[in-house]
């Protein structure tokens, strides 16, 4: 996974060095959300480009990004809390009653919101334990071994900005097709007229590697168009119930997001 993260960094770095304007708008949105003054935004923007210019190694570059962001981490924490609330508001209408799996749960905040605001049974799954301490204290069932999850059945599986972190998204969708009735997905999508691959990969890298130092979240850059994602789901036995272009819905992480609601074909 770290090798693919390095490859993604090398590709995006090359593209941004060649054409810095690809990421200008996104960096400005992020820095404005961090409540920096105009002068500070200009300075930090240039420093980010300097990091890309001089740092070939991804891990070192990610640490340097965190060094820039660290003085503003209180504001960052506040903005990222709103991220979980936003995602919950986007998906809660589509959750079937019963047993729910938050697949690739990350810090677990969205799954916790589902558990707190509904009467549903919520389970969490991720390949590593990224949960916040408050989520751990809530004692929601957590799994990091897929075999334990794969032996169960769920009324709904949520996959919220997860598949593009996988080396093989098709494999993950295939797994989920065997354990759920409904699949609720939010994914990052690429579109050359809105967010091309290089910009999407850079934003994803800043969020997962720069804003979360030490978490070791893989960023293999497996972004697809909305149509490609839909075809991926349909290949594995899902049919579309609803689809929404969410646009760039969160300025602190200005990716282009798309909601898919899918039911498994009987």
pLDDT at 180: 97
Q: Is 17 inside a domain boundary? A: no
- Residue 149 is part of which domain span? 96-196+221-264
58-116 pLDDT tens trace: 999 999 999 999 999 999 989 888 999 999 999 999 999 999 999 999 999 999 999 99
| C-alpha–C-alpha distance, residues 157 and 167, integer Å | 20
The answer to whether 236 and 8 are in contact (CB under 8 A) is: no
Please tell me the predicted confidence (pLDDT) of residue 1: 59
Indicate whether 105 belongs to any domain: yes
CATH of the domain at 131: 3.40.50.150
**Residue 227 placed within a domain:** yes
Asked, for residue 250, whether it belongs to a domain, the answer is yes
Q: What is the pLDDT of residue 195?
A: 87
pLDDT at 99: 97
Strand ranges for 104-207 from DSSP E: 121-125, 142-143, 154-160, 180-188
Q: Which residues of the chain have pLDDT under 70?
A: 1
Question: CA-CA distance, 27 to 218, in Å (whole number)?
Answer: 21
In a domain, 34, yes or no: no
Q: Could you give the CA distance from residue 43 to residue 28 in angstroms, rounded to a whole number?
A: 11
In a domain, 57, yes or no: no
How many domains does the structure of the chain reveal?
1
Q: Which pTM value belongs to this model?
A: 0.94
From residue 47, give the alpha-carbon distance in Å to each of 36, 40, 261: 14, 10, 40
Residue 11 resides in a domain: no
With respect to residue 209, please indicate whether it lies within any of the assigned structural domains.
no
Q: Which of 77, 124, 102 is nearest to 186 (CA)?
A: 102
């Amino acid at each position: 996974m770290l090798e693919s993260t390095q490859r993604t960094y090398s590709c995006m770095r090359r593209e941004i060095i060649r054409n810095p304007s690809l990421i200008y708008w996104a960096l400005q949105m992020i820095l404005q959300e961090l409540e920096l003054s105009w002068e500070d935004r200009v300075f930090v923007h240039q420093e980010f480009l300097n990091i890309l210019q001089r740092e070939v190694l991804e891990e070192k570059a990610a640490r340097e990004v965190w060094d820039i962001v660290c003085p503003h981490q209180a504001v960052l924490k506040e903005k990222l809390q709103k991220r979980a609330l936003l995602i919950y508001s986007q998906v809660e209408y589509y959750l079937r009653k019963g047993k729910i799996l938050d697949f690739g749960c990350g810090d677990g905040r969205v799954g916790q919101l589902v558990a707190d605001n509904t009467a549903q049974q919520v389970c969490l799954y991720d390949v590593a334990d990224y949960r916040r301490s408050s989520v751990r204290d809530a004692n929601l069932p957590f799994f990091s071994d897929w075999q334990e999850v794969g032996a169960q059945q769920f009324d709904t599986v949520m996959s919220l900005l997860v598949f593009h972190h996988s080396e093989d998204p098709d494999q993950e969708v295939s797994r989920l097709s065997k354990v759920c009735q409904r699949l609720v997905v939010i994914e990052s999508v690429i579109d050359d007229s809105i967010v091309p691959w290089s910009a999407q990969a850079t934003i994803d890298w800043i969020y997962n590697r720069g804003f979360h130092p030490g978490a070791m979240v893989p960023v293999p850059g497996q972004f697809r168009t909305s149509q490609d994602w839909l075809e991926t789901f349909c290949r594995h036995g899902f049919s579309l119930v609803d689809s929404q272009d969410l646009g760039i819905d969160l300025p602190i992480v200005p990716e282009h997001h798309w909601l898919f609601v899918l039911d498994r074909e009987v």
